[in-house]
Structure 1
Amino acid sequence: MPENSSPAYAKQPVGKPRIPVVFWLLLTISVSLVIGTVLLSNDMKHLRTIDRYFRFGLFSYEVKPPPPKALPRPTPSASVRLPLHATEPPTAQTASAFLRTWRVSGAAMCAALRDAGIQTSEWAAASFNANTFECYFEHSGKREKDQLPSSIFVIVRGDAAGTISNMRVKIVNPQTDQNGQLDPNILRIFEIMLNQPQWLDFHEALNAIKNLRDIKEDGFGASITFSREVLNPDRYNFTLSLDAAPGPQTRTRNYFSDRTWLPSPEPTVETDPAQPAPPSAQ
């Protein structure tokens, strides 16, 4: 029988080693210091995040409006290239090809005649009718033997707005050259009257007048007449006028009226300084 066989010396089972309380205390303090350092660092950014998330109410926050949204970039305007004819001034030759209208006012026509040396009166109301406006020129030569005295009468008539109604010329016993052609001084009157309205389709009229031949041309409501009087062969009458336009022309003219569109500049005809001046009023 072994020695010390009493119960007091019996073998006890081996247990797990116990961790001292001091260790746990030190561990807790260390972890707390680390957590506190993390939470308090960077101006307590992480602590504020936790406070906002769990809504502890540890801090008061200033509500800031959201930053303004960036404005979208303006879309560049699209460039449009217009054809040249859309910005060019109207061409009188083209316009007169489909629409007959006076492209010169009465006052401008009278001024063009005066610039060419034909001393017409100013564009003013007629003495017999205040609604009719006109300018005129009259010149009479000396009587020679049994011949009628040479004379010229020019008149341009229209209304107060300056729209021409007709132009007339009467020449009596006109001067001619050795070929029987009209004197250039007198022919200049017809050149101005035919060129200023820019009705260039009446191309035969001036040549006929130059040779003192009767002619009558009509086109798009305009009428040109130059004729010798039957009973008085030394007297010639010239008339340039616009007839009453039919419905389609009236509607077209109203559409292109100055009430709707900006008025186009009046055409001008350059005078040739080399040509002699026509007879002036005495």
Structure 2
Amino acid sequence: MPDNSSPAYAKQPAGKPRIPVIFWLLLTISVSLVIGTVLLSNDMRHLRAVGHYFGFDLYPPEVKPQPPKALPRPAPATYKLPPHTIEAPVAQTASAFLRTWRISGPAMCAALRQAGIQTSKWAAASFDADTFECFYEHSGKREKDQLANSIFVIVRGDAAGAISNMRVKIVNPERDQNGQLDPAILRIFETMLRQPQWLDFHETLNAIKDLKDMKEDGFGASISFTHEVLNPERYNFTLSLDATSGPEKRTRNYFSGRTWLPAPEHSVAANHTQPKLLRQEPPAENRN
């Protein structure tokens, strides 16, 4: 065999085994995944801690706007009410807007008697037990062809004393030297117009004094003073409340005094004492 002693065929010493590049690539990717998982876990708190350690913030904290400051509480407002809002209602003022009889039938009859018109007492009418009334009637002597002067006054209502209407009829009334109605007769109308406290009919009395026809309506009340067409010396006066609606009538009837017991007297209501009940003792033989 030929001796192959050339340097090209000389044996080379054995070296260390080489690691493939793919191994390093896979290792790098695996380590990166582990580090990324650790940093991104727990709401990225570890990543923020690392960034804060090296002096920079990858996720700066969100700046929330401050809530608006509470406005200073204003001082409590003060209001001054006008005196008429806290005062007790005045009958003279209320009657101009709320049309009701502010006087009972018996009180009206008593006021006429105090004025010199001797009316009868408040009692049931002879033709209807549900109608109550008081009246006054006076007749003079007839002179020649003239009518006898007469006066008839009547106030009507119900058993509870609520007035329904007031009427006056005068025939051939006496006049004063100025041709106006005699003051003694005029006192009847003054009393009837003053007691209900309806102050809006201020021109009524002047028309009656001059014996002029007049008629006024307002807030449900009706007043008329007229002479008869065929008998000019006969005058009729009527003061009444107009007929109300059906619901209002039913309401008044429901709360009528004939349905409910009367309210206790003020003196009794003010006294809070109750009547004492007497205890009955049992007979002697039953006490044991």
Distance in 2 between the 1:143 and 1:132 partners? 33
Q: Deviations over 1:161-215 (max 9, x none)?
A: 1110000000000000222100000000000000000001001100000000000
Distance in 1 between the 2:250 and 2:150 partners? 42
Distance in 1 between the 2:170 and 2:176 partners? 16
Distance in 2 between the 1:233 and 1:97 partners? 33
- AA partner of residue 183 (structure 1): D
The aligned counterpart of 2:133 is 134
Contact kept in structure 2, 1:167 and 1:239, CA below 8 Å: yes
Contact kept in structure 2, 1:99 and 1:253, CA below 8 Å: no
Q: CA deviation at 1:144?
A: 1.1
The aligned counterpart of 1:57 is none
Aligned residues: 181
Structure 1 unaligned blocks of 5 or more = 1-80, 263-282
| TM superposition outliers: structure 1 runs of 4+ over 6 Å | 247-254, 256-259
Q: 1:114 to 1:163 in 2, by over 3 A?
A: same
Distance in 1 between the 2:122 and 2:86 partners? 33
Q: CA deviation at 1:94?
A: 1.3
The aligned counterpart of 2:204 is 205
Q: CA deviation at 1:245?
A: 2.7
Contact kept in structure 2, 1:125 and 1:132, CA below 8 Å: yes
The aligned counterpart of 2:172 is 173
Q: Deviations over 1:129-173 (max 9, x none)?
A: 010000000000111111011100000000011110000000000
The aligned counterpart of 1:22 is none
- AA partner of residue 241 (structure 1): S
The aligned counterpart of 2:37 is none
3-state SS in 2 of match to 1:237: strand
Distance in 2 between the 1:95 and 1:126 partners? 32
Q: CA deviation at 1:93?
A: 1.7
Distance in 2 between the 1:112 and 1:251 partners? 30
The aligned counterpart of 1:228 is 227
Q: 1:218 to 1:212 in 2, by over 3 A?
A: same
3-state SS in 2 of match to 1:154: strand
Q: Deviations over 1:61-116 (max 9, x none)?
A: xxxxxxxxxxxxxxxxxxxx997546644211211121100000000000000011
- 2:101 pairs with 1:105: no
The percent identity for this pair of structures is 79
Q: CA deviation at 1:222?
A: 0.2
Distance in 2 between the 1:198 and 1:229 partners? 28
Higher relative contact order (CA 8 A, sep 6+): 1
- 2:145 pairs with 1:157: no
Say what the alpha-carbon RMSD is for the aligned residues.
Answer: 3.1
The aligned counterpart of 1:237 is 236
Q: CA deviation at 1:121?
A: 0.1
Distance in 1 between the 2:178 and 2:238 partners? 25
Contact kept in structure 2, 1:171 and 1:235, CA below 8 Å: yes
- AA partner of residue 201 (structure 1): D
3-state SS in 2 of match to 1:148: coil
Distance in 2 between the 1:251 and 1:203 partners? 32
The aligned counterpart of 1:17 is none
Distance in 2 between the 1:138 and 1:113 partners? 13
The 5-angstrom pairing of residues 8-23 of structure 1 reads none
Structure 2 unaligned blocks of 5 or more = 1-79, 264-288
- AA partner of residue 123 (structure 1): W
The 5-angstrom pairing of residues 87-106 of structure 1 reads 88-106=87-105
Q: 1:176 to 1:108 in 2, by over 3 A?
A: same
The aligned counterpart of 1:265 is none
Contact kept in structure 2, 1:113 and 1:189, CA below 8 Å: yes
Q: 1:129 to 1:247 in 2, by over 3 A?
A: closer
Contact kept in structure 2, 1:99 and 1:249, CA below 8 Å: no
The aligned counterpart of 1:114 is 113
TM-score relative to the length of structure 1: 0.58
TM-score relative to the length of structure 2: 0.57
The aligned counterpart of 1:8 is none
3-state SS in 2 of match to 1:120: coil
Distance in 1 between the 2:244 and 2:129 partners? 25
3-state SS in 2 of match to 1:239: strand
